[in-house]
Amino acid sequence: MKRLISALNIVVILSLTGCGWLGLRDRSDDYLLAEETAVTVVPQGMDKDVLGQIYPIPEIPVASVELVEFDVPRPQPASVNTFEQSVKIQSLEGRRWVLINVPPSEIWPRVRNVLNRSGVPAALADGSEGIIETVWVKFNSDEENSHRFRFQISPGVQLDSAEISAVHNQAPRAEEDQAQWPQTSDDDQREKDMLSLLASDLAASADSASVSLLAQNIGGEAKVEVVIPEISDPFVMAKLSFDRTWASTLYSADRGGFAIIDQNRSEAVIYVNYTPETTEEPGFFARWFGGSDKILEVNYRILVQTVGANVEIRIVGAEGQGLNKAETLRLLKILRSNMS
């Protein structure tokens, strides 16, 4: 019995120490020896778009700041919406939409499921444009008209978010074929009720994780992006109205750790103070004689300027002087990550 136990102990020890003891080579680090393979050549006349790079490596501009100098930045504090789904209805400039911190490719099938369960199936679904048009439906509260809705799903201003807007259209029964989609809803209350129904259902089904692989770029390009020109200073470009960009910039500055000292809307300037958080504890004399209430001084200006059909957001020094690219990009990325 003792010999049997000793033999079993030896087998267990050999299995724990790896396969090398049994004459088998450990292949766990073989991926480090992988080499780049040649690109598959597709014969002429055949579609080569199907064969793409599995892990594409983006090109780095020659004038990129990272090629000259790079310091590992401190991680930004996680937003309260980072780990929990947030659904809310927002309105501005006479427009109303549902904001959800889920990418459009994931929200697309969920909206269609909500409409089907509600008895309002889609008559048209255009993933490239992010448009869903419902069939004509009849409400018990209106015996004279038929109703339909058009939903527009597009990328939100907030990172990895989607915006869902709706337009209501009504027409007398038996005359639906002559109806045209209006610019604004025929009945504002029905639009509001439909968006409320949609928001409530999306919030209740937070565990859904289906993704539409055919609608990866649904609704068009991002509304906000950081632009890095080769010659001029970097800036944030927003494909929004000035009023919404201004409100979003103020919200983002407050969320991103900027202290807003003053603002001048007529000149589109926000005076802020930004001091990165430090983990160093104050010294003995600083704790005794250093006051806890400090008067913050302006050390940056945020400029919000309308350029053509877009709005550009730039950051300069306290006196309006330019900053180096690394500092400008660091501050702009903080603003971009908190815009909503």
Last residue of a domain, one of 163, 193, 215: 215
Mean pLDDT, rounded, of the chain: 79
Question: How confident is residue 192, by pLDDT bands cut at 50, 70 and 90?
Answer: very high
- pLDDT for 129-169, tens place per residue? 889 999 999 988 888 999 999 999 988 888 888 899 999 99
Range of the domain at 259: 224-338
With b for 16 or more beta-carbon neighbours within 10 A and e for fewer, the 95-115 pattern comes to eebbbbbbbbbbbbebbbebb
**pLDDT value at position 210?**
54
Q: Which residue has the higher pLDDT, 20 or 178?
A: 178
What would the mean pLDDT of 28-42 be, rounded to a whole number?
A: 77
Task: For residue 168, give the CATH number of its domain.
Answer: 3.30.530.50
Half-sphere exposure of 83 (CA within 13 A, CB side): 3
Per 3-state DSSP, the chain is made up of helix, strand and coil in percentages (nearest 5) of: 30, 25, 45
Residue 80 has pLDDT above 50, yes or no: no
State how many domains the chain has. Answer: 2
- Residue 97 in domain: yes
Question: How confident is residue 221, by pLDDT bands cut at 50, 70 and 90?
Answer: confident
Question: How confident is residue 217, by pLDDT bands cut at 50, 70 and 90?
Answer: low
Residue 176 has pLDDT above 60, yes or no: yes
**pLDDT value at position 118?**
84
Task: For residue 257, give the CATH number of its domain.
Answer: 3.30.310.170
